Homo-oligomer: A and B are copies of this chain.
Amino acid sequence: MTVYLTRVENFNAAHQLWVDEWSDEKNMEIFGKCANKNFHGHNYKLVVTVKGSPDPMTGFVMNAKRLGDIIKTEITEILDHTNLNLDDNFLPEGIQPTSENLVIYIWKQLAPHLNNCTLHRVRLYETEKIYADYMGE
């Protein structure tokens, strides 16, 4: 029996969308207000789902507190109150800090830290109205 366990954590960060190879005009045309050189920011909501079979003794797919601790240690405490373009973190240079790219790199960062269960989905809300999902393939 496969059960999915989901945990939500939060971080607040600044970012900017910008392609250096493009002119200012092209950046504004493609990214609109997101290209503002002085950055803007978001309250990101990160939703991580793992899957597995509940342990017969504990009833846990995974201890939800430990899942929260891993998400905090590996992701939200690293990204919280940072600038996703400038601060030193796991997103490679030159990779746009869009929600689409962030979910892929958050997946890569989290997956090695999970054992006895499998990472199923990483969802990132950029606002209440926009979010991205990555399921590992």
A58 touches B17 (CB 8 A): yes
Q: Is the interface of A mostly helix, strand, loop or mixed?
A: mixed
| CB of A25 within 8 Å of the partner chain | no
Interface pair B2/A135, CB less than 8 Å apart: yes
Q: Which of A11-37 contact B (CB under 8 A)?
A: 12-15, 17, 19, 30-34, 36
B2:A137 contact, CB within 8 angstroms: yes
Q: Is the CB of B12 within 8 A of A41?
A: yes
A90 CB → nearest B CB, Å: 15
Bound together, the chains give a CA A6 to CA B99 distance in angstroms of 11
Q: Is A1 in contact with B134, judged by CB distance below 8 angstroms?
A: yes
Question: A118 an interface residue at 8 Å Cβ cutoff?
Answer: no
